[in-house]
Amino acid sequence: MPILSDWTPEPQSAFLTWVLGPRLISWPAAITGAFVGTYSHVALDSLMHADMRPLAPFSETNGLLHLVSLGALHLGCVLSGLLGVLFLFTRFARRREPRAERTG
């Protein structure tokens, strides 16, 4: 994937090196990411755009339109992004902690 090979973090930046991850991803990871990304994007767009048809070709209606207010949608997106960043930092910090030796 060209994006992964174009950016190389500084070697002393353990976090950015960890975030970059492996240079190659598996087919199941790529397919799952594409599927989740595509359909979550359609679902979120359906909440705010009247011309979206999330169930096409089975239905021409958009039952998701205005299910939540635009402000609530934006707030939810920002909060989920912040939660994702918090999760990322927590996971990175836990991987760097020395593991306690089991006794007994």
Weakest-pLDDT range from 13-17, 23-27, 39-43:
13-17
Distances in whole angstroms, Cα of residue 56 to Cα of each of 38, 39, 41, 52, 63: 14, 13, 15, 9, 12
Mean pLDDT for the stretch of residues 41-59: 93
Residue 49: pLDDT over 70: yes
> Is the Cβ–Cβ distance between 18 and 29 less than 8 Å?
no
Residues 54 and 70: their CA atoms lie apart, in Å, by: 18
Question: What are the two backbone dihedrals, phi and then psi, of residue 54, each rounded to the nearest 5 degrees?
Answer: -65, -25
Neighbouring CB atoms inside 10 A of 26's CB total: 9
- For the chain, the structural domain boundaries read 2-68
Weakest-pLDDT range from 19-28, 46-55, 65-74:
19-28
Residue 95: pLDDT over 70: yes
Mean pLDDT (the chain, rounded): 85
